[in-house]
């Protein structure tokens, strides 16, 4: 019952939300989809809102914060974010219910302890008011969430290298983006160091930094227009294979779907 559990509720530019915890309680990383959908998915896991001990926000883009106001104020769930991200949430047009009592500030590298979960924020490079990833430690395991990052900075790399499990961005295929219909300024924004991570960037990082602790990689935030799950999977599998790391044998690789919840992963 107290094994570590993970489920992606949604992943991508239409909304992001991840559950991590055990059979009796847990936290959400981001809440960028509708409250009713979140509640329904959690119920399927046997988790009610009162068993969610916090929402940890990565940054203040709409696809990550849409429901934090309602979850925080209506359901009294603490919403953890850095000061700059909270300021951004208060200003955001897409968060209609503003945060008061449920607002909790976190600082980079500060560890929040909720039951057996220990959650630490680290900085990532992106173009919101402030941008963080999270490492969630549970017993002797580490689960790192790194979404919406233009490149893998030194600080993010330190966290990712130690992870047993990770949610890691593979936003776009470089060829598809270059040859797609997006206007030039948007292509530039996505490719910038404060934009998103490509399949190649993710694959290269994983291949160069693979160690045998790493058991599961969940690829997140795949672009609908500039990526395909098969291409993301194949690109990263190829990078790993070039370093003799075999997907399915050394580690599991999963592409997270934009709208459909992933299966529930229960880790040994």
Both structure tokens of 146? 């790194």
Stretch of residues binding Zn ion (CB under 5 A), selected from 17-25, 41-49, 62-70, 166-174: 62-70
- Rule CB under 5 A: is residue 196 a binding residue for Zn ion? no
Sign of the four-CA dihedral 134, 57, 21, 195? negative
Q: How far is the CB of 263 from Zn ion (least distance, A)?
A: 22
Which residue, 63 or 173, has its beta carbon nearer to Zn ion? 63
Tokens 């295929």 correspond to: 173
Give the list of residues 6+ apart from residue 57 with CB closer than 8 angstroms, or none.
30, 31, 64, 65, 68, 79, 80, 81, 85, 89
Shortest approach of Zn ion to residue 20 CB, angstroms?
18
Size of the site for Zn ion (CB under 5 A): 3
What CA–CA distance (Å, rounded) separates 240 from 208? 8
Stretch near Zn ion under the rule CB under 5 A, chosen from 57-65, 67-75, 175-183, 186-194: 57-65
From the CB of residue 187, how many other CB atoms can be counted at a distance below 10 Å? Answer: 17
Residue of the chain from 61, 66, 86, 103 that contacts Zn ion (CB under 5 A): 61
* Range 141-170, binding Zn ion (CB under 5 A): 148
Q: Let me know: does 59 contact 31? Beta carbons within 8 Å.
A: no
Counting contacts by CB under 5 A, is residue 63 touching Zn ion? yes
Going by the DSSP 8-state scheme, the letter that residue 136 receives in this structure is E
Q: How far is the CB of 232 from Zn ion (least distance, A)?
A: 16
Map the footprint of Zn ion across residues 71-100, applying CB under 5 A. Answer: none
Write phi, then psi, for 99 (nearest 5 degrees).
Answer: -90, 135
Nearer to Zn ion, 5 or 61 (CB): 61
Measured at the CA of 31, the angle between CA 27 and CA 34, to 5 degrees, comes to: 125
61 or 258: CB nearest Zn ion? 61
By the rule CB under 5 A, 66 interacts with Zn ion? no
Minimum CB separation of residue 31 from Zn ion in Å reads 13
Question: How do 117-123 and 111-114 pair as beta strands?
Answer: antiparallel
Q: Near Zn ion by CB under 5 A, which window of 22-30, 63-71, 150-158, 229-237? A: 63-71
Binding residues vs Zn ion (CB under 5 A): 61, 63, 148
């Amino acid at each position: 019952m107290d094994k570590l559990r993970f489920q992606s509720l949604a992943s991508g530019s239409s909304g992001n939300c991840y559950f991590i915890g055990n059979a009796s309680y847990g936290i959400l990383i981001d809440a960028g989809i509708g409250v009713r959908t979140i509640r329904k998915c959690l119920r399927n896991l046997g988790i009610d809102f009162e068993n969610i001990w916090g929402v940890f926000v990565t940054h203040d883009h709409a696809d990550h914060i849409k429901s934090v106001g309602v979850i925080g104020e209506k359901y009294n769930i603490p919403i953890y974010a850095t000061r700059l991200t909270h300021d951004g949430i208060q200003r955001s047009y897409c968060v209609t219910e503003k945060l008061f009592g449920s607002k909790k500030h976190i600082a980079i590298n500060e560890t929040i302890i909720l039951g057996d979960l220990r959650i630490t924020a680290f900085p990532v490079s992106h173009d919101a008011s402030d941008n963080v990833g999270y490492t969630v430690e549970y017993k002797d395991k580490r689960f790192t969430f790194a979404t919406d990052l233009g490149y893998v900075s030194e600080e993010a790399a330190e966290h990712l290298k130690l992870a047993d499990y990770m949610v890691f961005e593979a936003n776009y295929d470089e060829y598809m983006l270059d040859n797609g219909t997006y206007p030039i300024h948007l292509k530039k924004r996505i490719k910038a160091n404060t934009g998103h991570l490509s399949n190649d960037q993710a694959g290269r990082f994983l291949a160069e930094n693979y160690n045998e602790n790493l058991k599961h990689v969940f690829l997140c935030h795949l672009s609908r227009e500039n990526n395909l799950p098969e291409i993301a999977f194949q690109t990263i599998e190829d990078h790993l294979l070039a370093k003799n790391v075999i997907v399915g044998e050394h580690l599991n690789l999963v592409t997270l779907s934009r709208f459909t919840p992933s299966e529930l992963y229960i880790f040994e």
